[in-house]
Structure 1
Amino acid sequence: MFIKSTTLALALLLGTGCSHVTPNYDARFGDAVRDARKKMTLNPDAGKDGNPIAGMDGRSASESMKQYHESYKAPPPALNVINIGGQIGGTAK
């Protein structure tokens, strides 16, 4: 009986000790996500504007995307960046 009442008292004590923190977190829940979304959105009405975006034309953008996708199919060879006492990209003669 003593163990049950002690366990119950500890559970109630821990529960009341943590209960004052939750409303503070609940009031601001999701603020970080909303703030990050606002910071990532440069122009929320961009879809309504018919003007083209300054930058790449369609053909250049298409080719760069093709090269990007191809880079995952056949990645470029790895280079020896830390070159201690050797030659870069070749064998000794």
Structure 2
Amino acid sequence: MKQALTLLLAGALLSGCAGIDAASSTPQWDARFGDAVRAAMARQRIHPGGVNPEQVRGIDGAAALQAQEQYRKSFSAPAPQPSAFTIGVSGGK
């Protein structure tokens, strides 16, 4: 009796799991899931087959040196903060 009840319960559980894919309430949506994302990604490519044979390897030395100096100078002296108690009065130079 106990074995028959166990087999009956196991059969009921397995039959319930077997129809999960077949009982989907949205088969049309599931079949096209992700199409909008793939289409949006494809539209962002101007010319997917195009290749630039002359790729830029870097920038010239003078421009790189100037950019690096400007970057370093940006950390040397921070701009003075205006006082929190001056309301409506220009504190700039």
Normalising by the smaller structure, the TM-score range is 0.3 to 0.5
Give the structure-2-normalised TM-score.
Answer: 0.35
Higher normalized helix content (fraction of residues):
1
Give the structure-1-normalised TM-score.
Answer: 0.35
Greater C-alpha Rg: 2
